A and B are shown apart, each in its own frame.
Chain A
Amino acid sequence: MSTGRLAPLTAVLVAAGALCVVFPFFWMAVTSLKTVPEIQRLPLQVFPDRWSNLDNYREVFQRQPFGRFLLNSALVASVSALSSAIVSSLAGYGFAKFRFRGHGVLFFAIVGILMVPFQSVVVPLYLWINRLGLLDTYPGILAPDLVSVFGVFLMRQSIEVVPTDYVDAARIDGAGELGIFWRVILPAVKPAIATLVIVKFMWTWNELFWPLVVVNSPTMKVVTLGLVSFTNMYFIEYNLVTAAAVVSVLPILAVFLAGQKWIVRGVVMSGLKG
């Protein structure tokens, strides 16, 4: 390609775009360290007077049980990620390596659920959870997230390419079905499981709609709900909102940076295969 002359310009444009994308994070971080007079000062002040000013963070944890919110989110996201991984890989194994009656129809039906937007089924789901007496409980918050349809799809695609010869060889050697699953299949699809666990954790952590419907009491709130509760006042204190936002974002950012390779894999796989 004859792009030699344009290369520096491209690099500058790419960098400028990236800085624009990252700017809101920077702004969130500096605002969370400012006092109210500082954020209202004219002309605009970019950096806080005192970098070690953590008063906003203290205030966030005092005004709301934010530690509890973090714990709730961590619990819900971890359980849903693990449960999805287990169910999806077992189901994926079944669909990839066994032929049974209704195999195709069943798989089509499960993948078809991907097309149903969650918001369409939220009313019946709410009534059902209500009847089970699970409103405002951990099982109630978790229920729709215990299984991941995307996960079943992802795991089937991954397990399908594991050579069936390995499975047969293990069976001849006298391994049981669970032994085969545990010793042959799982080690071969570790990357896909990593992808699924990380992506599902992120999704559940960031979810707002279902927790909003199912949670009532302050102690059962997850972080997204906790964040919203800082805006329900007539006057929004942005130094507190940004501090709360930082607290809610940091854990997921850590997960994201640690698992970025796997997330990109997942996006590309789901993206390119539709």
Chain B
Amino acid sequence: MSVPLTVVAALAAALGLHRLRNLRARSAWAAMYFVPFSVSLVAAALVWQWIYDPVYGVLNHLLGTLGLPQLKWLQSLDLVRPSLALVNVWARLGFDTVIFLAALQAIPAEYYEAAAIDGAGAWQALYRLTLPLLNPQIVMVAILELIFNFKIFDTVYATTQGGPAGASQTVIMLLYDTAFKYFRLGDASVMAVFVFVSLLLVTLLQWRLFRRQVEY
């Protein structure tokens, strides 16, 4: 669920950053997007849990000030997953932005000059030129995020532990509980095989896609 959001947000951030002419400003702003990457997911999750706090959290204060209804976020059956997904987006955004930014910088300026001479506007240049050229990176980042989100554990363990009522349960959370809380190592191993096979299929898919995309 958070995969498309992360990819789109990172792409937007990278395109915006790439537009900045001043190189020093560009790298300074890019660094700010990248900082969350350095922090442990545990620390990130705990700080976000505080921001999400239903009574004293800054997010509900903000909503209250704007006259919007206040929500229960991590304690709500419907909102717990989007809320945790947002933490992931926050933590991963910078990593993806850096990859996109590097790819953007590798596109020769002559392509854009040629497009401008042919009468292409800025949007056309984006759709016809930039996005197709970035296709390999977009596919790769999407797959990396898919794998990352499939394995998500730290944020859930530090905050909801799979709750409320199992609404935010993840495969790895279940695997951990089965193996090291209930010591049913056999059951846990079955889950481990399932995780491995699923991710293997995703990776093989990635390779297949890559072979086709590399033609550009």
Tell me the B44-67 residues at the A interface (CB within 8 Å): 44, 46-51, 53, 56, 58, 61
- How many A residues are at the interface, by size bracket? 35 or more
CB distance from A140 to the nearest CB of B (A): 14
Number of B residues near A (Cβ < 8 Å) is: 73
CB pair A13–B188 under 8 Å, yes or no, is no
How many A-B contacts if CB must be within 8 Å?
A: 190
CB pair A2–B47 under 8 Å, yes or no, is no
CB distance from A135 to the nearest CB of B (A): 12
CB distance from B116 to the nearest CB of A (A): 7
When distances are taken between beta carbons in the complex, the residues of chain A under 8 Å from B19 are: 3, 6-7, 10, 14
**Cross-chain contact of A123 among B32, B125, B179 (Cβ < 8 A):** B179
CB pair A121–B192 under 8 Å, yes or no, is yes
**B189 within 8 Å of A by Cβ?**
yes
CB distance from B214 to the nearest CB of A (A): 10
CB distance from B51 to the nearest CB of A (A): 6
Query: Roughly how many angstroms separate A117 CA and B12 CA in the complex, as a whole number?
Result: 30
CB distance from A81 to the nearest CB of B (A): 15
CB distance from A43 to the nearest CB of B (A): 8
When distances are taken between beta carbons in the complex, the residues of chain B under 8 Å from A3 are: 19, 122
**B8 within 8 Å of A by Cβ?**
no
Q: A117-B195, A209-B176 are in contact. Are A127 and B13 (CB under 8 A)?
A: no
CB pair B44–A24 under 8 Å, yes or no, is yes
When distances are taken between beta carbons in the complex, the residues of chain A under 8 Å from B12 are: 17
When distances are taken between beta carbons in the complex, the residues of chain B under 8 Å from A253 are: 35, 38-39
Tell me the B181-198 residues at the A interface (CB within 8 Å): 185, 188-189, 192-193, 195-196
**A248 within 8 Å of B by Cβ?**
yes
Query: Roughly how many angstroms separate A212 CA and B154 CA in the complex, as a whole number?
Result: 10
Q: Which residues of A contact B (CB under 8 A)?
A: 1-3, 6-7, 10-11, 13-15, 17-19, 21-22, 24-25, 27-28, 31, 39-40, 43-44, 115-117, 119-124, 126-127, 202, 205-209, 212-213, 223-224, 227-228, 230-231, 236, 238, 241-242, 245, 248-249, 252-253, 255-256, 260, 263-264, 267-268, 271-272, 274
Q: Which residues of B contact A (CB under 8 A)?
A: 12-13, 16-17, 19-21, 29, 31-44, 46-51, 53, 56, 58, 61, 90, 93-95, 98-99, 102-103, 112, 116, 121-122, 125, 137, 140-141, 144, 147, 151, 153-154, 157-159, 172, 175-176, 179-180, 185, 188-189, 192-193, 195-196, 199-200, 203, 206, 210
21 A-B residue pairs with Cβ-Cβ distance under 8 Å, sorted by A, are A1-B125, A3-B122, A14-B17, A18-B33, A21-B94, A40-B56, A120-B196, A122-B179, A122-B192, A123-B188, A123-B192, A206-B41, A209-B154, A213-B176, A227-B42, A241-B46, A249-B39, A253-B35, A253-B39, A260-B31, A267-B95
11 additional A-B pairs beyond A3-B122, A123-B185, beta carbons within 8 Å, are A1-B125, A14-B19, A17-B33, A21-B33, A22-B35, A25-B47, A27-B51, A28-B50, A248-B40, A264-B98, A274-B140
Give 9 nearest A-B pairs by CB, closest first.
A206-B40, A256-B38, A18-B32, A271-B99, A120-B196, A14-B16, A120-B192, A44-B61, A245-B43
